[in-house]
Structure 1
Amino acid sequence: MGKSVTNGNVKKPNRQKARLARRAAEQEAATAHAEKEAADLPNLREQERKSMRNAYTIRDLTEHEIRSDGHCLYAAIADQLQSTGIGLKPRFDVHSLSSLSEPASENAAYSVTRQVAAAYISQNPNDFEPFLEEPIQDYVKTIRETGEWGGHLEILALAKAYRVDVNVIQGSGKVEKVECAFGNLIKSGLHTIAIALALGEHYNSLRKTKLP
C-alpha cells in the first residue's frame, strides 16, 4: 500500500513568505554594502588628499580653501585672477554688461566671473551650443542668475575671456589643462592659473607657495 497523507492534502509552500524573506535578504545585503561604502569613504578621501598634496608639492602650490557652494568654481577662478595680479576685468569686449568693477569683498568676487562666463558664452554661441542640451539663452541665464555650479564649459569660457590657461588638478593628482587657444592668433594663454577639483564636486584655488 502507498504512503497515506494526513487529510489527503499536501502542504503547499507559502510563496508570500518566501518573497518577503527574499526581499529582506536583499535589503540586508544592500544595507551592508552601503555601510561598507561609508566605512571606505574616509580612506578614499584620504587617498585623494594625499595624491593632491603630492601634486601641489611638485608644482609649488598651496591650496586656498573656497567656500563650498554652487559658486565655488567662479570663486576659485576669481581668487586666482586677483592673487596673481591679473584682475577681474576680462580681455574681450563685453557687450551684454554695462560695467564690471572689482567687488568690495573676496566673497563677492564670484559674481564678476559668473557674469563674465555668461557674457562670453552668449557672445560666442558657436563654441558652446554643440555641447548644450538646452537653448543657449536658458543656459546663460542659469549661469548669470542662479547658484548653479560650473564645470568644463564655464572654465573654457573664462580661460578665453581672460586669455589664461587653466590647470585643473584632479583627485588622482593628474592635471587637466584647459587652454585659451585662439587659433593662430594666440596658441596659449598669457598666464596660467591653477585650481583643484576635489571628489569631482568642489573647486579650490591653488596659489603659488610663498618663499620664506
Structure 2
Amino acid sequence: MDDENVSDGSIEEETILERHRREKKELLAEITKIRHSSKSDKKKKKESQEQIARLENELKERHEREIEEDKTNQSELGDDQAIEPQESAEVTKLKKKMAKAQKRRDNKAAKNRERDAALKQQEIDNLTGKRHLEIQKIKQLLAKKKLKIFEIPSDGNCLYNAVSHQMQNEHNAKLTNNSLRRQTADYMKSNEDNFIPFLTRQDTGDCYTHEEYEKYCEDIANTSAWAGHLEIQAISSILNCRIEIVQSEGSPIILGEEYTDNFTLVLPYHRHIYGLGEHYNSVEPISGSDEVDQS
C-alpha cells in the first residue's frame, strides 16, 4: 500500500514538471512572436518588453505556486498515513498543523538562501558586466571635463529631459520635456527635406512618404517616442548650440559644429544601462566635495 502511494506521488510530480517545461517552451515561442512584431517600432518595443516581463513573472509565480501546492498535498498525504488509528482527531489536527508550519519554515529558509545566492551573483555581475564597465568608462571620460553623471529616468523621454535639465541647471532656461518635444517636431516639419532622406521603413527599406514623416513628427510631439540622431540634430539647431555625445566606445559624437562659439551640451550615451535599450543621461559639474570613482 505504501509503495503504491509513493509511486502515485512521483508520477504526479513528473507530470507537473513536464507540463511546466512545455509551458516554458510555449512562452518562449510567444515571446519570439512579440519581439518580432515590435522590432520596427521603438514605442511598441518598450511595451513589448514590459509585456514579456509580465508574462515571464506570471508563469514563474504560477509554476512555483503549483509545485508548492503539490508538495503540501504530498506532505498531508504522508501525515494521514502516519497517524495511528487510536489517535484522537485533535492530535491528528495538531500534527498536520505542525508539519505545515515546519514546511513553511523550510520553504522560507530555502527562498532566503536562493535570494542570498542571487544577490552575491548580482554583485559579481555588477563588477564585471557590460553595464558596470560602460558606466565606469563614461565616468572617467566625464571626469576629464570636470563633469559627473546626472541620472535621468528611463521612460522614453530621456534625451529631452537630459537637455531640459542642462538648459535649466546651467543656462537658467525654462525648458520642459513637452515644450522641447513640440519645438523639435515643429522644426523637423519645417525642414522636412533635411531629415526625411534619413528615415526608412524597417520592413521594406523604402524612404518615408510625406504622410509617414508627418506621423513621425506627431509622435515626437505627442508620445514618449525615443529620440535619436535626427532629433539631436534638430535640437542643436533649435538651441543654437553644440551637442557632444559621450560614449564608452569610440570618439565623442559632436553635432552642431557650426555653433562652436556658443555653449555646448554634453550627453552621456549608454547602450547597456537598461534592458530595454539605449539611454541618455545628463551631466553636472563636479563640486569640490565630489570624489570621482575611477574604479
TM class by shorter chain equals: 0.5 to 0.7
Matched-pair contact (CA < 8 Å) for 1:167–1:192: yes
Identity of aligned residues (%): 28
2:287 aligned with 1:210, yes or no? yes
Cα distance change on mapping 1:160 and 1:180 into 2, 3 Å: farther
Please, which of 190, 202, 207 is the counterpart of residue 123 of structure 1? 190
Q: Which residue of 2 aligns with 1:58?
A: 144
Cα distance change on mapping 1:170 and 1:153 into 2, 3 Å: same
Structure 1 counterpart SS, 2:281: strand
Letter in 1 for 2:197: P
Q: Map of 1:3-152 to 2, 5 A cutoff?
A: 43-85=129-171, 87-88=173-174, 109-133=176-200, 134=208, 135-152=212-229
Higher relative contact order at CA 8 Å, sep ≥6: structure 1 or structure 2?
Answer: 1
Q: Which residue of 2 aligns with 1:195?
A: 267
Cα distance change on mapping 1:202 and 1:78 into 2, 3 Å: same
- The structure that has the greater radius of gyration is 2
What TM-score comes out, normalization by structure 1 length? 0.65
Kindly state the Cα deviation for residue 172 of structure 1 after the two structures are TM-superposed: 2.4
Cα distance change on mapping 1:142 and 1:180 into 2, 3 Å: farther
For structure 1, list consecutive stretches of 5 or more residues without a partner in the other structure. 1-26, 28-37, 89-101, 103-108, 182-186
Matched-pair contact (CA < 8 Å) for 1:72–1:203: yes
Which segments of structure 1 move beyond 6 Å, counting only runs of 4 or more? 38-41
Letter in 1 for 2:232: I
2:251 aligned with 1:165, yes or no? no
Higher helix share: 2
Kindly state the Cα deviation for residue 86 of structure 1 after the two structures are TM-superposed: 5.5
What TM-score comes out, normalization by structure 2 length? 0.47
Kindly state the Cα deviation for residue 188 of structure 1 after the two structures are TM-superposed: 3.1
Letter in 2 for 1:204: N
Kindly state the Cα deviation for residue 48 of structure 1 after the two structures are TM-superposed: 0.8
Structure 1 counterpart SS, 2:215: helix
| Count of matched residue pairs | 152
**CA distance in 1 between partners of 2:261 and 2:228 (Å):** 19
Alpha carbon RMSD of aligned pairs, Å?
A: 2.4
Letter in 2 for 1:77: V
Structure 2 counterpart SS, 1:112: helix
